[in-house]
Amino acid sequence: MEDAFPVGAACRIDARTPWRQVAEIPVGFDPEGIAVDVARRRAFVACSRSDFVSVVDLESHEVIAEITTGAEPIDVGLDEQTGRVFSADAHSDQVTIIDAATLEVETAIPVGGYPSGLTHVPESRRLYVGNSLGSTMSVIDLDSLETLATVDAEPGAGAIGVDPTRNLAVCVNFVAASANLFDTNTFEAVGRLELGIGTCAIGVVPERGEAFIVNSIAGTVSRIDLDAQKVVEEIRTGQAPVGLTVAPAHDRIYVTNRGAGSVTVIGVADGAEWTRIPVGYGPGGVTVDPYDGSILVANAGSQTVSIVEDLLAGRPPVPVVEEPSPWIGKRLPNFSLEDYRTGERRTNADFAEKKYILNFFASW
Amino acid sequence: MLVDIWEGTAPRPEVERFCEMWGIKGPILLDPDLALAGELGVRGVPTNVVVDADGTVREFGAARLDELERAIESL
């Protein structure tokens, strides 16, 4: 007897696609950080290889401006109260300040070496900047633009999470595989966490006293108990996770999988992977548009911004199962590629009867 | 073997900087037009494609070290 509902590809896709692709918008080279101007319905995208910030109209889905910044803008934030956009310009060791209304550059503030992470905390009127080569964290007053403090962190300082209810800032160090905890009133160090190699994004859920930190090499997200200052859970993601944001309802987090071209949705309470949403290639920066809850993702590989909607009301009954590549078990297609070192063409024939690994990479 | 993709700008200076920074001395192929990456459906980096002595793809993805080691051991 045949099944009433045959398990065909279409059935599987229907059960596993609780999302909607809204748009994929071309921007500059190597887009990384992304921030939303809710009032003006715009997104600001730090395009690090283009040395500008792309401004995307979220109604027409078109780029309406490209604002030249310092070299290698890699992260971006927006302060609604002052109408300012901030870009962390990694190769210029500065933060550029842009007027969100006129889209003109207002000024720039020097920070530490290679600023790569930027966190905007409107409640306390502060901007936190992680300086990777300087191994420091800069704290800037959002209104006066004065640098209030520059505190020692560790190599690869970048992403910073802030819990305003605990007066706690957590600076994640990509190279040192650690995080430093600071008191946001005194700027004194109050703790340190040992983490996996390649820690590169953080989100905080203050009402649970928890932070979630991405470990890109291990392919996990660490759940941190901020009061105990320890890792309490490791949650598996897709391939090479790099970006993370907490959904406005604080019931889930979104993690970009740079190695898989997808966004993993993880339940905050259950620590389970709810689904994976396909986006562009090599995704990194991710944020949520508070206007409609859609997810905005900067895709460094495809040089685009994806806008997708997460349609899940809660944890789905179907677990996430990654489809294996259809190439597994098949012969590698013929190729002829230039050898960077010799300039010669290399083909399959050069590797006949040899076992080998092709590691696709990008220098960003 | 490394295969460079998605640089956006000219790949050679970027690859040179990358090799200097990480001390990479092994062979590197350039696939700026995604001739191979596109055919294989590569969606992200890193993506490891493990090929056996018959030229057959045995693993695809394997960004984590334990996944890659398992794939190599199974060859």
Query: Which own/partner pairs from A334-337 qualify as long-range (CB within 8 Å, at least 24 positions apart)?
Result: A335/B35, A335/B36, A336/B35, A337/B3, A337/B29, A337/B30, A337/B31, A337/B35, A337/B36
CB of B31 less than 8 A from some CB of A: yes
Cα gap A2→A187, rounded to integer Å: 67
Query: Mean pLDDT over all residues of chain A?
Result: 94
Which residues, 6 or more positions from A77, have their beta carbon under 8 angstroms from its beta carbon? Answer: A33, A35, A85, A86, A118, A119, A120, A127
Domain assignment present for A335:
no
Residue B75's pLDDT band (cuts 50, 70, 90):
confident
Under a CB-based contact definition with an 8 Å cutoff, are residues A56 and A62 in contact? yes
Buried b (16+ CB within 10 A) or exposed e, A17-46: ebbeebbbbebbbbbbbbbbbeeeebbbbb
Number of domains in chain A: 1
**What is the domain-level CATH number for residue A147?**
2.130.10.10
Domain assignment present for A296:
yes
* pLDDT score of B43: 96
Residues of B in contact with A360 (CB under 8 A): 3, 5, 31, 37, 42, 45-49
Domain assignment present for A83:
yes
* pLDDT score of A283: 98
Q: How far is B62 from chain A (nearest CA, A)?
A: 7
* pLDDT score of B64: 87
Domain assignment present for A282:
yes
* pLDDT score of B21: 87
* A72, A200, A336, A337: best to mutate for the B interface, most B CBs within 10 A: A337
**pTM to 2 decimal places:** 0.94
Q: Per the structure block, which two tokens stand in for A359? A: 């590691």
Residue A13's pLDDT band (cuts 50, 70, 90):
very low
Q: Do B49 and A360 touch (CB under 8 A)?
A: yes
pLDDT (average), residues A132-136: 98
Residue A41's pLDDT band (cuts 50, 70, 90):
very high
Cα gap A44→A47, rounded to integer Å: 9
Q: Do A339 and B7 touch (CB under 8 A)?
A: no
Residue A63, judged by CB atoms within 10 A of its CB (0-12, 13-18, 19+), counts as middle
Cα gap A186→A172, rounded to integer Å: 19
Domain assignment present for A4:
no
0.90 surpassed by complex ipTM: yes
pLDDT (average), residues B4-23: 91
Cα gap A181→A364, rounded to integer Å: 28
The pLDDT tens digits of the residues spanning A142-161 come to: 999 999 999 999 999 999 99
Q: Do A355 and B52 touch (CB under 8 A)?
A: yes
The CA–CA distances, whole Å, from A302 to A25, A213, A289 equal 10, 25, 21
pLDDT (average), residues A256-269: 97
pLDDT (average), residues A324-334: 95
* pLDDT score of A16: 61
The pLDDT tens digits of the residues spanning A212-257 come to: 999 999 999 999 999 999 999 999 999 999 999 999 999 999 999 9
Q: Do B29 and A339 touch (CB under 8 A)?
A: yes
Query: Which residues form the domain of A37?
Result: 15-310
Domain assignment present for A78:
yes
Q: Are strands B2-4 and A356-361 parallel, antiparallel or unpaired?
A: parallel
Q: Do B28 and A341 touch (CB under 8 A)?
A: yes
Among A49-63, A71-85, B13-27, name the one with the lowest average pLDDT.
B13-27
Q: Per the structure block, which two tokens stand in for A15? A: 């059960």
In the stretch 33-62 of chain B, residues with CB closer than 8 A to chain A read 35-37, 39-61
Cα gap A331→A87, rounded to integer Å: 46
pLDDT > 70 fraction of chain A, expressed in percent and rounded: 96
Q: Where are the domains of chain B?
A: 1-40, 45-75
Q: A54 — alpha (psi -120 to 50), left (phi > 0) or beta?
A: beta
Give the bridge partners for B47, in sequence order: A360
Give the bridge partners for A115, in sequence order: A131
* pLDDT score of A197: 80
pLDDT at residue A11 is higher than 50: no
Domain assignment present for A347:
no
pLDDT (average), residues A122-150: 97
